[in-house]
Amino acid sequence: MGGIAALAQAAGHTVSGCDAHVYPPMSEQLRALGIELIDGWDAAQLERAPDLWVVGNAVSRGNPLLEAILDAGQPYMSGPQWLAEHVLQGRWTLAVAGTHGKTTTSAMLAWILDQAGLEPGFLIGGVPQDFGVSARLGAAPFFVVEADEYDTAFCDKRSKFVHYRPRTAVLNNLEFDHADIFPDLAAIETQFHHLVRTVPRSGRLLVPAASEALQRVLARGCWSEVEALGDADGWSARGSDADFEVLWRGASQGRVCWTLIGAHNRANALAAIAAARHAGVPPAQACAALSGFHGVRRRMQLRGEVGGVTLFDDFAHHPSAIETTVAGLRRAGEGRILAVFEPRSNTMKLGTIKQRLPDALAAADLVFGYAGGLDWDLAATLAPLGGRAHVHAELDALVADVARRAAPGDRILVMSNGAFGGIHERLLQALRARAADPVL
């Protein structure tokens, strides 16, 4: 929604917005753009009388401002509908969908197109460090959009991505998530099937060959060209996570040498390179562009180093993403990994896949879980990890425990899809205090 606000302002509209507990980096980006932010959903905001209310999917019936809008009969629409009608219409949309990796892959794809001189527009669910913003209108025809399977709005329970009608579609992966709106994986597969139905015959789908769920989606009907990812008959890679050769049907297309870590980012790169080729960018040029790609804020972002202890921030919150992120950091260097995580997503709060957490965190040396606000027993869930697991219901206690146990050479990996109470700076402050007074 913050990105949509930025696009609307760039299109010439006067924009303001409201939300509860806005936090960086989006709050910083919006204020830098001069977009007014209002905390909360007071019905008195109705007096602002805008030409249109654009409503995000976090707003449900019973919200005081939404109820006032409905009672007053004022015009409204969902964010994805506004994007489709006012930005994407008539453009070549490149959509990146999947349970994991959407933000990073979208950022990679936008960067490749940008470096090729195509001036793409984009809407990404994070802030790419090379752009400094999550959204821009760009120049026609290309527009990259992170295509989310979550529902659209209170008035439209279809997945957001059915509005986007892409010509190029990346389906990165597919696992069960969003347990608050989907009963099972099959229900999500149906939404992906609906997305596939919107891709034109002249369009192209980029799909991992190893994903059984996505292969089931394609088996339900596919009317477009398909290129396989991670397959010898399609796109593959060989080499390390930091330096790898890109292959198309076994033939070398170029080499990527970068600072990003993890096999998941190598897979994301293949998808972005393949999608960019559909838009006319030669793979060798795409590889060269990615060699200068610096990642996305809150995706394995180095937040600081104190006394030989480094602190990383990552958005991982699904067990699969947690496992992949920890594994990537493990391969990236020596030193203990202190994993600090918050089960914050709706799926994790419900505890639907909590049993997968011990395996997801098994590669960490120490695990610190935040149990604040959970209705299930996080300590019991992490019991298979034995004495490596430490659970706290209070954030201050968690910060103190991590800072006390951290030693020079350690890597602290903080994982959450929210602000996590500003834990990153609080940990750095605690480490500085300990460094200044070793008795602590």
Superfamily of domain 2-79 in the CATH hierarchy = NAD(P)-binding Rossmann-like Domain (3.40.50.720)
Show contacts of 220-224: CB within 8 Å, 24+ apart.
220/189, 220/193, 220/196, 221/193, 221/196, 221/197, 222/196, 223/196, 223/197, 223/199, 224/169, 224/196, 224/199, 224/200
Give me the CATH topology for the region 87-290. Answer: UDP-N-acetylmuramoyl-L-alanine:D-glutamate ligase (3.40.1190)
Confidence of residue 414 (pLDDT cuts 50, 70, 90): very high
- Lowest-pLDDT range, 25-29, 381-385, 427-431? 25-29
Confidence of residue 178 (pLDDT cuts 50, 70, 90): confident
Token pair of 146 as six digits: 């992170």
- Is 60 exceeded by the pLDDT of residue 261? yes
Per-residue pLDDT reduced to its tens digit, 361-391? 999 999 999 998 888 999 999 999 999 999 9
- Is 80 exceeded by the pLDDT of residue 243? yes
State the pLDDT at residue 286. 98
pTM (2 decimals)? 0.83
Correct CATH for 301-436 of 3.40.50.150, 3.90.190.20, 2.130.10.10, 3.30.830.10? 3.90.190.20
- Is 90 exceeded by the pLDDT of residue 293? yes
Per-residue pLDDT reduced to its tens digit, 58-87? 899 999 999 999 999 999 999 999 999 999
> What is the mean pLDDT of the segment spanning 203-226?
97
Confidence of residue 438 (pLDDT cuts 50, 70, 90): low
Q: How many residues would you count in the chain? A: 440
Residue ranges of domains in the chain: 2-79, 87-290, 301-436
**First-to-final CA distance of the chain:** 43
Q: Give the chain's mean pLDDT.
A: 92
Per-residue pLDDT reduced to its tens digit, 94-151? 999 998 889 999 999 999 999 999 999 999 988 898 998 899 999 989 999 999 999 9
> What is the mean pLDDT of the segment spanning 4-30?
87
Confidence of residue 440 (pLDDT cuts 50, 70, 90): low
CA distances for 402 relative to 326, 424, 429, angstroms: 17, 11, 12
State the pLDDT at residue 351. 83
Cα 128 from Cα 294, distance rounded (Å): 8
Residue 146, Cβ neighbours under 10 Å: how many? 27
What whole-number percentage of the chain has pLDDT above 90?
74
CB of 39 closer than 8 Å to CB of 22: yes
State the pLDDT at residue 230. 95
